[in-house]
Amino acid sequence: MKTILNCRHVTRLLSQSMDARLPWHRRLAVRLHLLYCIWCRRYAAQLQFLRRAGQQLAAQAPITPAPRLPDEAKQQIAARLREALNNPPAPPR
Amino acid sequence: MIHGDQLQVPVSAESCSQGQTPGDERALDPERWVAEYADALFGFAAARVREAAIAQDLVQETFLAALKASQGFAGRSTERAWLFGILRNKLADYYRRQNREVPLADLDAPLPEEQGAFGDRGLGKDGWLGRMAPKAWETPDETLVNKEFQGVLNRCLSQLPGKVALAFSLREVEGQPSEEVCKDLGVSPNNLWVMLHRARMGLRRCLEVHWFGNKRKHE
């Protein structure tokens, strides 16, 4: 079991811990590392900040208007569907 | 580019399951389908793939599959939810095909977003390199709702590889559970966390350079 982790490891584990609970020995090793590594402590806090920033983006109105399918494309699709409907069986995709 | 409103279409997996009763006559009208749903389906797909042409193909494939399976539309869910369910499956297929081109991340090698962040030899091996190490951020809550900040965050997001950015958007912006994101993107849980790690690493760095590093200019 590896108890001394380096920063590359810890950043990966911190990210993992945002989505799933780590095994206890991993949690312990990460905590130990954070005790003496200010950089990874900042990294951990910044991941939390990123999460809140993401949630805030969702709460905002869309930044760009929804893209619409051009009329020409719609006609193409409708024609293709009509064709498939009139000539069953439609070719499998 | 992610469009907030298109990420919000809730569709359950059951909505495309087989039913017993055939769909009614309304279900077989291509022109009406296209008129009613093409834009919504296209918007949903366009927010999830890089090119509009691919999104358009996916919409057409969705309608064609729906046509073939219209017997399967049991009327248990709405027609709209049913079509979105099919589109989600088409998207997952599309990503599965893409996976062949994107090699799985080799965790023994540095990930692209980690490049230059950690020492690669000697005593400092795999420790933060001073210049790249996280700096202290001042993060008052106002930052989160600051339009300029959100613009920078969106630009940072758009600079990540497409699928990495998408994984982050689905997980952290839309707030989907990991299992669902895996299903949508057709990736394993392990692959997902690698992508999320890459996204977080990349975004953190990008924000530090383009927002926190420049903060005085904004104040």
Q: Quote the minimal CA–CA distance from B127 to chain A in Å.
A: 5
A66, B6: Cβ pair inside 8 Å?
A: yes
Backbone angles phi, psi at B161, to 5 degrees: -55, 145
A49, B171: Cβ pair inside 8 Å?
A: no
B117 vs A contacts (CB less than 8 Å): 8
How far, in Å, are A35, A78, B30, B32, B47 from residue B35 at the CA level? 60, 9, 8, 5, 20
Label residue A62 by pLDDT band (50, 70, 90).
Answer: low
Question: Is the confidence at residue A72, as pLDDT, over 50?
Answer: yes
Taking the Cβ of residue B59 and every Cβ of chain A, the question of whether any pair is shorter than 8 Å is answered with: yes
* Number of independent structural domains in chain B: 2
Note whether B91 and B147 are same-domain residues: no
Shortest CA distance to A77 belongs to which of B200, B41, B177, B194?
B41
Note whether B78 and B156 are same-domain residues: no
Chain B residue with minimal CA distance to A49?
B139
Per-residue pLDDT of chain B (219 residues; tens, 9 = 90+): 444 444 444 444 444 444 434 444 455 677 888 888 999 999 888 877 777 888 899 999 999 888 887 766 666 678 888 888 899 888 888 877 766 544 444 556 678 888 888 888 877 888 998 888 999 998 888 888 888 998 899 889 888 887 888 899 989 988 889 998 888 888 888 889 899 999 999 999 999 999 988 654 444
Taking the Cβ of residue A85 and every Cβ of chain B, the question of whether any pair is shorter than 8 Å is answered with: yes
Chain B residue with minimal CA distance to A45?
B137
Q: Which two tokens stand for residue A67?
A: 């893209």
Note whether B134 and B77 are same-domain residues: no
Note whether B72 and B154 are same-domain residues: no
Q: Which two tokens stand for residue B136?
A: 């202290």
Per-residue exposure over B21-35, b if at least 16 CB sit within 10 Å of its own CB, e if not: eebeeebbebeebbe
Taking the Cβ of residue A28 and every Cβ of chain B, the question of whether any pair is shorter than 8 Å is answered with: no
Note whether B85 and B127 are same-domain residues: no
Of B99, B130, B159, which marks where a domain is finished?
B99
- How many beta carbons lie within 10 A of that of residue B205, not counting itself? 19
Note whether B95 and B127 are same-domain residues: no
Note whether B13 and B94 are same-domain residues: yes
B200, A50: Cβ pair inside 8 Å?
A: yes
Q: Quote the minimal CA–CA distance from A19 to chain B in Å.
A: 7
Backbone angles phi, psi at B183, to 5 degrees: -65, -45
**Residue at B107 is within a domain:** no
ipTM > 0.85 (yes/no) = no
Q: Specify the pLDDT at position B24.
A: 47
Backbone angles phi, psi at B153, to 5 degrees: -60, -45
Instruction: State yes or no: cis peptide before A89, omega within 30 of 0.
Output: yes
Structural domain containing residue B126: 112-218
Q: Which residues have a Cβ under 8 Å from the Cβ of A2 and sit 6 or more positions away?
A: A29
Q: Which two tokens stand for residue B125?
A: 């091996």
